[in-house]
Homo-oligomer: A and B are copies of this chain.
Amino acid sequence: MRPTLQTVADAVGVSRSTVSNAYGRPDQLSPELREKILEAARRIGYAGPNPTARSLRRGRAGAIGVLFTPTLSYAFTDPYAVEFLRGLAETAETHRTGLLLVPLGADDEGALSAVREASVDGFCVYCVPGWYRAMSAALARGLPMVNSEYQGELYVGIDEAAATRAVGDHLTGLGHRRFAVIGTYLGTDPATGPTTVHAPEDLPSFVSRERLRGYRDAFAAAGVPWSDVVTVNAAANTREDGAAAAAYALDRDPRPTAILAITDVLALGALDALGERGLRAGADVSVTGFDDVPAAADAGLTTVRQPAYERGRIAGELLLSPPDDPAERRVTLDTELMVRPSTGPAPD
């Protein structure tokens, strides 16, 4: 039987409230009595007010829930995700707020209950597709929520389509006309392989939709119809799946002269696939990514830098101290095209 406020109160011979005050409002009782109470608590082994009970009474949990990619453990393999989380943690820490990583897990039902059982004051969502039932459950909680993929009351993100438009323009400017796009959530079948995306607008995933829109517009401006573009789905955002997806594109005839991956991780996989075939990135085939993770610079990958840390930091800020002005509650951050050796003039 764990000691409670009452246990301590009985031991000292005071009321429960006085003990409560000894912890939370030292000015409400004499210093001597307070010391006596704390001393008794120490002796009994009472570690202070039960946080759950306190949360219930106070009406705040002191934590924000993080919905972090479909599988929590995956998130930690993604350097971009980790940077985002670092920014979020930074803000949380200065606001003395915890971060509850919600175990969405593999199955739908589990994710639903995990979201409903989370004792939090708000949610920060990162890379969870909007059609997940867990997302509706989170929304239903009626708590403040920042989702960089959904334009809610609070929002921090980038202009995805404009960023990929710049990538596309860069490549068409180099003379490229045969393109392959690789990404996740591009098809109904969640396996790695060629798929047909009739129109980017129809894609259910916000990020995939917007990024492909940008590519499409750039291609169109150079006279390349979307139907000429090869699209390959990657089962997951991993280097291996990126390599496998790129392989499908590279083994086509005629071979695309440029591979546009919607993330750096996939693009790094594409570079692996080039290497296996003895192709030179930037000469035989150009490759682009998105995110600008640290490894991208080392690999000489042309990509879009988006401020991951900043995005996480601002997400936290929006949740923990939302600006009064509604306009400031929707933040769009700048991106930058980083041109590196993985892109070059189209061959021939």
- A contacts, CB < 8 Å to B: 2, 45, 47-56, 61-63, 71-73, 75-77, 82-83, 85-87, 89-90, 92-105, 110, 113-114, 116-120, 137, 140-142
- Given A47-B141, A85-B76, A100-B63, A93 and B119 contact (CB-CB distance below 8 Å): no
CB atoms of A96 and B86 under 8 A apart: no
On whether the beta carbons of A90 and B118 are closer than 8 Å, the reply is no
21 contacts between A and B (CB under 8 A): A48-B116, A50-B56, A52-B55, A52-B56, A55-B119, A62-B119, A71-B93, A72-B90, A72-B99, A73-B86, A76-B82, A76-B89, A77-B86, A89-B101, A92-B101, A92-B103, A95-B103, A96-B105, A96-B110, A98-B102, A100-B100
How near does chain B come to A255, taking the closest CB pair, in angstroms? 30
Closest chain-B Cβ to A161's Cβ sits at a distance in Å of: 29
Contact across chains for B72 and A92 when beta carbons are under 8 A apart: yes
CB distance from A115 to the nearest CB of B (A): 9
Name the residue of chain B whose CB is nearest to the CB of A113: B96
From A68, which residue of chain B is reached at the shortest CB distance? B89
Q: A72-B90, A99-B103 are in contact. List 20 more A-B contacts (CB 8 A).
A: A48-B140, A51-B119, A55-B119, A62-B119, A63-B119, A71-B93, A72-B99, A73-B86, A73-B89, A76-B85, A77-B86, A89-B101, A92-B101, A92-B103, A93-B105, A95-B103, A96-B105, A98-B114, A98-B118, A100-B101
Given contacts A89-B73, A117-B51, contact A101 B103 (CB under 8 A): no
Contacts of A77 in B (CB 8 A): 86
Which of B71, B82, B101 is in CB contact (< 8 Å) with A82? B82
Most buried by B among A45, A62, A120: A62
Given A56-B56, A72-B92, A114-B98, A119:B82 Cβ within 8 A: no
| B116 A47 Cβ-Cβ under 8 A | yes
CA distance A324 to B85 in the complex (A): 36
Contact A93 B89 (CB under 8 A): no
**Residues of B close to A51: CB separation below 8 A:** 116-120
Output the nearest chain B residue to A50 by Cβ-Cβ distance: B56
List B contacts of A47 (CB < 8 A): 116, 137, 140-142
The interface residues of chain B lying within 8 Å CB-to-CB of A71 are: 93
How far does the Cβ of A272 sit from chain B's closest Cβ, in whole Å? 15
> Smallest Cβ distance from A237 to chain B, in angstroms?
15
In-complex Cβ contact of A62 among B55, B105, B117 (8 A): B117
Instruction: Known A98-B114, A103-B96; judge A53-B54 contact (CB<8 A).
Output: no
A118 cross-chain contacts in B, Cβ below 8 A = 51, 98
A105 vs chain B, min Cβ distance (A): 5
CB contacts (< 8 Å) of A73 on chain B: these are: 86-87, 89-90, 93
A61 to B55, CA, bound (A): 12
- What's the least CB distance linking A103 to chain B, in Å? 4
A16 to B115, CA, bound (A): 23
Q: How far is the CA of A87 from the CA of B72 in the complex (A)?
A: 10
B76 close to A83 (CB less than 8 A): yes
How many angstroms from the CA of A15 to the CA of B249 in the assembled complex?
62
Residues of B within 8 A of A50 (CB): 56
Determine if A97 and B92 form an interchain contact, defined as CB atoms under 8 angstroms apart.
no
| A117 / chain B contacts, CB cutoff of 8 Å | 51, 54, 62
